[in-house]
A and B are shown apart, each in its own frame.
Chain A
Amino acid sequence: MKYDLLIKKGLVVDPSQGLNQVGDIAFADGKVAAVGSLSDGDAAEVIDATGLIVTPGLLDLHVHVFPGVSHFGVDADHSNIGKGVTTAVDAGSAGALTFPFFRKHIIEPADTRLYSLLNISSTGMISPNIGELEDLRLADVEAAIAAGRANRDLIVGIKARLSRSTAGENDVAALERALEAADALGVFVMIHVGGTKSPMEKLVNMLRPGDVVTHSYHGNDYGILDDAGRVIDGIKEAQQRGVIFDVGHGAGSFSFDVAEKALSRGFNPGNISSDIHIYNIEGPVFDQVTTISKFMWLGMSLEDVVRLTTESTAKIIDADGLGTLKVGSVGDATILRRDEGKFIMTDSVGRSVTANEKLAHVRTIRSGRVYRP
């Protein structure tokens, strides 16, 4: 057989190649082997995707999958590969001291391709009651650099949660340390914003091109909008100079109102992620596919939302061969269905909207194999 797997007649949406057309995709040896019009007889397994959407394997830049140590954690495979996400980035559940266990017992055994942002706090996120950066001694730059170097294959960035509830008054100092560690490792920083001591603009001004702001559309104090609902100039300028504004929906960090105002003024996200965790997996987030569906309700095209969870995300984490269906790239694909009907979707501040279409996950392929748990 020429191919291990052939997905036939799906609507292939792959922004990395500008593809948005019905076609076939074949996989061999864990890689994408061919895209085009292909013959059934050449494949060991054939999936008929007529009427369905085929995308590169989805990436989720913001998840929490360290259950049993981090209170936020959900099961890595259930919430990711089981829901169409082939590659997920844990956003700071583990710090330098807890990363070794996370690597050995969660990342390495998982079916989902997992990467991690290392929390600048060396404990990572243990308790919802006590912030990991309230005691700045925990923001140990040396320890983070050492752990980052020892695990550079998996650690793609540094996370700093800067809300008062996690960092107290320490947002600026904690971010300085995160940037120092990230500089040493040659990786990006992701900051979690909302309810910070400092205005978002001040924090964002400290970021370098390629750094990420997550929870960009939150509805709490110090957001991206001014009192008149316009995007603050400094925020727009940051986006123009290459700071990436990510969604990171979460349980408290996504407001349809903020997103509507921002998108209407052309301030689109640079990445869409779910921030899936134990406090939102039963709603309002559910999963990444629901999160990208919300941006379709907000008016973005299918192609754009797919780009923001495939090609864009892969670029942010510098993962060659992911987020694309180019021949020779990693054989990850997600099959989705575009359902029509009436779907109620809720944001993190309790506003519900009724959408007339929603994406649903049908099948996940990782490294050329259909995920069948």
Chain B
Amino acid sequence: MYDMLIRGGTVIDPSQGIDAVQDVAITDGKVAAVEASINVNLAKEVIEAKDMIVTPGLIDMHVHAYPGVCCYGLEPDVTNIARGVTTAMDCGSAGARTFPAFRQHFIERAETRLYALLNISTMGIISSKIGELDDMRWADVEETAEAGRTNRDVVLGVKVRLSGDVVAMDDKLDALKRGIEAAESFGGIVMIHVGDKETPLETLTTHLRPGDVVTHAFRQWGGVASAHRDVVAELREARARGIIFDVGHGAGSCSFDTIETALANEFQPDTISSDVSTISVEGPVFDLVTTMSKFLHYGMELDDVVRCTTEAPAQVMGLGEDLGTLRPGTNGDVTVLSLDEGEFTFTDAEGKTTRAGQKLNPVSTIKGGRLYRPWLR
């Protein structure tokens, strides 16, 4: 007997190379079987997914989920699990000093599986006006390393925001080095947030280690490309070395021009994340599935878009054994999506709009084998 059967949907699970109509069975919170046809009488609860897309629970590798302390923070469940995202990673809203309350009041209580990168600034991101690395005394390696070790179960690495509004030009490399030093002390990744005209991305990626992440990589300035700049050889080399290029759309960090140039240069993102926050949740970002839909619109295959929000981020986060896959025995996290047809207007972070004929929408979310139904809690 299975606890749940998700029946008749098109299962897209890049981790297993599956793209076919299949049934997915879940028992004891784990994936029990993915097969062409599973007897409906063997399931206690059946979710009909005919004409729907069934994927591993989506992972958003760049969110801000510390409202009331971080100016960008949103309630984690409203913007994640309620929108198809079963696992999200908060990217530096909290630093070593502010992490304990984030852990206690959000990470441990949220329905969404939450992980975090610690900001190398021990205060994290509090103000939108004053950068957390304006005063480099906040970039405290020891405190960050200690908080990382203490919370290693949920802290996956260190975030360093390196745009000109957060850190002085002269301090950028120092901040990055401190981030790497802290991350190395507990075996975490480093994610850098990039973006200003003055700093070509390749001057930063040379310092990163394989597995480290560049977020906002598809922004108008300071990303992997622009309308006037093809992807440079150094960035291809960085990718070959294992550096991860993430989207992190956000209110200011994703340009359709850059996407077009990069995709034309065969430089797809490694991971697609939303960077959804207070200043982008009402547009242009809205949520992760809208962000995915934009890359679908610009020509990426659906399988690739799903990989970039399941298997790929799970691997970057070091959680590929349990998450981002429907392999039997892994966590029973499943997202049911519809691929709607019609006329949809998408807007990038520069205010440019485009008309698309398709858009993904979340239909149901299953986490740990349970259908997310907040109204029943």
Find out whether the CB atom of B68 lies under 8 angstroms from the CB atom of A135.
no
Nearest A-chain residue to B109, judged by Cβ? A105
In angstroms, how far is the closest chain A Cβ from the Cβ of B162?
Answer: 20
In angstroms, how far is the closest chain B Cβ from the Cβ of A76?
Answer: 13
Which residues on A sit within 8 Å (CB–CB) of B228?
none
Answer yes or no: B71 CB below 8 A from chain A CBs: yes
The number of inter-chain residue pairs (CB within 8 angstroms) is 68
Find out whether the CB atom of A138 lies under 8 angstroms from the CB atom of B97.
no
Residue in A67, A123, A129 whose CB lies within 8 Å of B127: A123
User: Which of A105, A122, A127 is packed against the most chain B CB atoms within 10 Å?
Assistant: A127
Find out whether the CB atom of A138 lies under 8 angstroms from the CB atom of B127.
yes
Which residues on B sit within 8 Å (CB–CB) of A67?
100-101
Answer yes or no: A130 CB below 8 A from chain B CBs: yes
Nearest A-chain residue to B137, judged by Cβ? A130
Bound-state Cα–Cα, A68 to B106, Å: 12
Binary per-residue interface labels of chain B (82-107) against chain A in the complex, 1 for a CB within 8 Å, 0 otherwise: 00000000000000011111111100
Answer yes or no: B69 CB below 8 A from chain A CBs: yes
Bound-state Cα–Cα, A100 to B71, Å: 10
Answer yes or no: B282 CB below 8 A from chain A CBs: no
Bound-state Cα–Cα, A285 to B67, Å: 33
Which residues on B sit within 8 Å (CB–CB) of A100?
67-69
Which residues on B sit within 8 Å (CB–CB) of A129?
137, 140
Which residues on B sit within 8 Å (CB–CB) of A267?
none
Which residues on B sit within 8 Å (CB–CB) of A102?
68
In angstroms, how far is the closest chain A Cβ from the Cβ of B99?
Answer: 8
Bound-state Cα–Cα, A67 to B98, Å: 9
> Within B95-145, which residues are at the interface with A (CB < 8 Å)?
97-105, 122-123, 126-127, 129-130, 134-135, 137-138, 140
User: Which of A68, A69, A123, A127 is packed against the most chain B CB atoms within 10 Å?
Assistant: A69
Nearest A-chain residue to B100, judged by Cβ? A68
Answer yes or no: A337 CB below 8 A from chain B CBs: no
Contact A126/B122 with A98-B69, A138-B127 known, Cβ cut-off 8 Å = yes
Bound-state Cα–Cα, A106 to B130, Å: 26
Contact A71/B97 with A127-B122, A135-B135 known, Cβ cut-off 8 Å = yes
User: Which of B69, B97, B101 is packed against the most chain A CB atoms within 10 Å?
Assistant: B69
Binary per-residue interface labels of chain B (43-69) against chain A in the complex, 1 for a CB within 8 Å, 0 otherwise: 000000000000000000000001111
Residue in B103, B126, B130, B137 whose CB lies within 8 Å of A137: B130
In angstroms, how far is the closest chain B Cβ from the Cβ of A116?
Answer: 13
> Within A93-109, which residues are at the interface with B (CB < 8 Å)?
97-105
Find out whether the CB atom of B98 lies under 8 angstroms from the CB atom of A126.
yes
Residue in B97, B99, B103, B127 whose CB lies within 8 Å of A127: B97
Q: How large is the interface on A (under 10, 10 to 19, 20 to 34, 35 or more residues)?
A: 20 to 34
Contact A101/B68 with A68-B101, A71-B97, A137-B129 known, Cβ cut-off 8 Å = yes
Bound-state Cα–Cα, A12 to B344, Å: 73
Bound-state Cα–Cα, A67 to B129, Å: 25
Nearest A-chain residue to B130, judged by Cβ? A137
Residue in B71, B104, B105, B123 whose CB lies within 8 Å of A126: B123
Which residues on B sit within 8 Å (CB–CB) of A134?
135
User: Which of B66, B101, B105, B122 is packed against the most chain A CB atoms within 10 Å?
Assistant: B101
Residue in B66, B71, B99, B134 whose CB lies within 8 Å of A135: B134
Find out whether the CB atom of B67 lies under 8 angstroms from the CB atom of A101.
yes
Which residues on A sit within 8 Å (CB–CB) of B138?
127, 130
In angstroms, how far is the closest chain B Cβ from the Cβ of A236?
Answer: 39
In angstroms, how far is the closest chain B Cβ from the Cβ of A277?
Answer: 15
Which residues on A sit within 8 Å (CB–CB) of B101?
66-69, 101, 105
Which residues on A sit within 8 Å (CB–CB) of B102?
68
Nearest A-chain residue to B127, judged by Cβ? A97
Bound-state Cα–Cα, A129 to B143, Å: 11
Which residues on B sit within 8 Å (CB–CB) of A71?
97
Bound-state Cα–Cα, A337 to B41, Å: 69
Nearest A-chain residue to B124, judged by Cβ? A126
Which residues on B sit within 8 Å (CB–CB) of A105?
68, 101, 105
Residue in A101, A127, A135 whose CB lies within 8 Å of B130: A135
Bound-state Cα–Cα, A138 to B71, Å: 14
Contact A126/B97 with A68-B104, A137-B130 known, Cβ cut-off 8 Å = yes
Which residues on A sit within 8 Å (CB–CB) of B130?
135, 137-138
Which residues on A sit within 8 Å (CB–CB) of B104?
68
Binary per-residue interface labels of chain A (259-301) against chain B in the complex, 1 for a CB within 8 Å, 0 otherwise: 0000000000000000000000000000000000000000000
Find out whether the CB atom of A68 lies under 8 angstroms from the CB atom of B98.
yes
Residue in A68, A101, A103, A123 whose CB lies within 8 Å of B123: A123
Find out whether the CB atom of A101 lies under 8 angstroms from the CB atom of B69.
yes
Which residues on A sit within 8 Å (CB–CB) of B129?
137, 140
Bound-state Cα–Cα, A97 to B138, Å: 18
Which residues on A sit within 8 Å (CB–CB) of B69?
69, 97-98, 100-101
Q: Please provide the 10 A-B residue pairs with the shortest distance between their CB atoms, ordered closest to farther.
A: A101-B68, A68-B101, A68-B100, A100-B68, A101-B69, A69-B101, A105-B105, A126-B123, A69-B98, A126-B97
Some 17 contacts from A to B, beta carbons below 8 A apart, are: A67-B101, A68-B101, A68-B103, A68-B104, A69-B69, A69-B98, A100-B67, A101-B66, A101-B68, A123-B126, A123-B127, A127-B138, A129-B137, A129-B140, A130-B138, A134-B135, A138-B130
Q: A123-B126, A126-B98, A126-B126 are in contact. List 17 more A-B contacts (CB 8 A).
A: A67-B101, A68-B98, A68-B104, A69-B69, A69-B98, A71-B97, A97-B126, A98-B68, A100-B68, A101-B67, A105-B68, A105-B101, A105-B105, A123-B127, A127-B122, A127-B123, A138-B130
